[in-house]
Structure 1
């Protein structure tokens, strides 16, 4: 696909920058027109720095996964969406096309639903750098759940703090992860973080390192078993839930200068438009 908002020269950059400063609403409306909306916005920007309260694409309805996945299927279904290379040169490369990724995201979205996840629920994601991480967060976004990715090097206490703050009821993790030459025991760290926790209802575990772990009956389930069940149900597609432009998409925790982690909340529409715009221009992205 082509990007009409891609900047191709320094002169064009200067012109575009001037437009964005002098008339930001018209500028960002022209960019946002290139995305898939379930309902167009009523107002591009409603800002108030006193409260502070800033709303982008107010009244708009969308689902970010339709823009990440569905709109590419007709013409780019067999094009790679994710090319994954292991840190271990002996491990096989994995390529997921848009069609395969779309199917996996829909199936895992059904897994989340089967395990009680609903729109607005907070889901903690504590995984290694594998395609399933992308599948997990896209599946959350597909059904309107709010994901919070936690860095795989954080301690049990750091995870516990974030789980408590976000009031997460669900966790997606792996038995372990490979980082450089190390084997990180992710699930056992999660188990430590959950000592005394009364809010987490389900822990979904993906098999990565085959590290021996404990699974608590009724709480912990295997990713592979859940996906197999969904495959048996015949699920290949699931509708993307309609989200308001200002609905939360994800929470990203900073370490916090006060020692207490601070959750930065990103909303659906503004994040989608700005992230894509900056990606296309900063990396001068060309299809293929």
Structure 2
């Protein structure tokens, strides 16, 4: 169909308040907002300031009352344990109400904070929704975070209670959560009053009398007693959650999300941006500990009346590179949203796509990629294997939903490889030089968003308005700084090339490591790659490439490395000074799939570095160090 994007975006530009007032009609309000935007509230203004609502009601109760009681709401699929189960919207409501009753009995009230420190199990969703029902502010901390990382979040959020589990499961190992939780509570200055613990059969834990509550037992008692908990009436501007993202100073930043704007924005994206109808199955293969999990595992699909999947597994190794296709075929998934890293891992294990053809993917319609730059070669591979549109899109923890994408719900636009496409309604994206002046089309610069940010974006940081200003608003007055570098072309397509930290200066030339990675990824034997800037006494910085080869490649590594260098020299030119490539077994990544380029750069430059809290497998950094030493680099 012809795209309605230009018409819809122009409509938002002409009347932003009218646009969001219309979108707000898709939400059930206790008291609908009459003041859509107030520029005098908060740091840069607040949305729907006089609206009264409840997020849990919109995600659960209204679907039960509105004809979706028997439709599956949540499907749990764990290839690690072999367990699968689904909950209808009516069953989801029963679980959420019972758990809310348990939390209320432990003293949790409106405005209290609750930390959720859980693996990828449905109870994590139930806990988030139970908090939303009570008006408590949840703060999900990625399960398995080290005790010190958890302690810093306890001290910042000051929770009344923590919901956790006895363990998390990784391929081939069990991660005991309780010792990490107890260690964090001991370490934190703020003392938590109670913990509600899910006992998992793979590794039950001892509970501390007087503090720890067995979730399964307490929920069963609440159900048997028929306890009810009504949804608390909240201001649209009341916080729904705080999600911590890493800060440059080491102190995590608590991104705040409100209730009203968050619901309006996420509900709008499901149909218009992702092309999903109520009742369809939407799968975000992420984790509830990250913003993708909050927005597109929990809230957006349920607000929309869709079915969401909670997947406890990995794209490869649980048991093979066909896991994603099995889940899509088995559960009738319409759209998958995952990180490009996942597809690079699948492509590396199954470069010919042999697993894809083992499954019936006839109901699968769209693949969405975000979290890392989606290099063109990965997108082309996915298109060729799956035969569906592959949509790169770009957003941040701070925004909560896409800033830029190809809006399939409005009608797909032409694809430009390397671009997440165009800005979405709500986002006036500009590119500025370091002095704050707009640069010509096609010129690399600082990607910023003209204020105000749209509904659903962070209004501030938790108890840190001044830090919010200094981190995001002060450098470019009147704009939100994304800290990403890129350019906008003549068709208004946005190209995000790197974090601004990843723009390297080679003998006075500002070069994008992302552009180099695109070229390296074109080599047919390369499964994954990363390029970082390494210190050079003559040129300031020079690029250093890391490559992971496809499974089954039998050629000499040195020959492949020479070909990669020649490829970059041919496509980008001698100005790139691209002369060093190191073949490694795997790249270090966070648990959400982002490559830890900064740490790799420090190892190459022999700088002091600390173990990243979010790293998936610390042993990989030793492998990187050894590979560099083999080339006479780093130490």
Same structural fold, with TM-score higher than 0.5 when normalized by the shorter chain: yes
Structure 1: gaps of 5 or more residues: 1-7
Over 3 Å counting, the alpha-carbon distance change for 1:216 and 1:153 in structure 2 is closer
Shift in Å, 1:65: 1.0
Q: Distance in 2 between matches of 1:48 and 1:14?
A: 31
The answer to whether 1:161 aligns with 2:148 is no
The answer to whether 1:245 aligns with 2:241 is no
Shift in Å, 1:124: 0.3
Residue number in structure 2 paired with 1:224: 216
Q: Distance in 2 between matches of 1:65 and 1:212?
A: 30
Residue number in structure 2 paired with 1:4: none
Over 3 Å counting, the alpha-carbon distance change for 1:92 and 1:63 in structure 2 is same
Residue number in structure 2 paired with 1:85: 77
The answer to whether 1:18 aligns with 2:29 is no
Shift in Å, 1:179: 2.5
Residue number in structure 1 paired with 2:165: 174
Structure 2: gaps of 5 or more residues: 281-635
Tell me which structure has the larger Cα radius of gyration: 2
Q: Distance in 2 between matches of 1:138 and 1:180?
A: 28
Could you state the TM-score of these two structures normalised by the residue count of structure 2? 0.42
Q: Distance in 1 between matches of 2:34 and 2:171?
A: 49
Residue number in structure 2 paired with 1:70: 61
Residue number in structure 1 paired with 2:96: 105
Matches within 5 A, 1:1-288: 9-10=2-3, 12-47=4-39, 52-74=43-65, 75-88=67-80, 91-197=82-188, 198-235=190-227, 237-286=228-277, 287-288=279-280
Over 3 Å counting, the alpha-carbon distance change for 1:16 and 1:155 in structure 2 is same
Shift in Å, 1:118: 0.7
| 8 Å Cα contact 2:141/2:150 also seen in 1 | yes
Aligned to 1:240, what secondary structure does the other structure show? coil
| 8 Å Cα contact 1:177/1:184 also seen in 2 | yes
Query: Aligned pair count?
Result: 277
Could you state the TM-score of these two structures normalised by the residue count of structure 1? 0.92
| 8 Å Cα contact 1:87/1:180 also seen in 2 | no
Q: Distance in 2 between matches of 1:281 and 1:159?
A: 37
Q: Distance in 2 between matches of 1:127 and 1:92?
A: 17
Shift in Å, 1:48: 5.0
Q: Distance in 2 between matches of 1:39 and 1:25?
A: 18
Q: Distance in 1 between matches of 2:224 and 2:60?
A: 23
Q: Which has the higher contact order (CA 8 A, sep 6+)?
A: 1
Shift in Å, 1:111: 0.5
| 8 Å Cα contact 1:188/1:213 also seen in 2 | no
Shift in Å, 1:18: 0.6
| 8 Å Cα contact 1:37/1:62 also seen in 2 | yes
| 8 Å Cα contact 1:177/1:209 also seen in 2 | no
| 8 Å Cα contact 1:146/1:249 also seen in 2 | yes
Shift in Å, 1:135: 0.4
| 8 Å Cα contact 1:123/1:172 also seen in 2 | yes
4+ residue stretches of structure 1 with deviation over 3 A?
none
Q: Distance in 1 between matches of 2:61 and 2:2?
A: 31
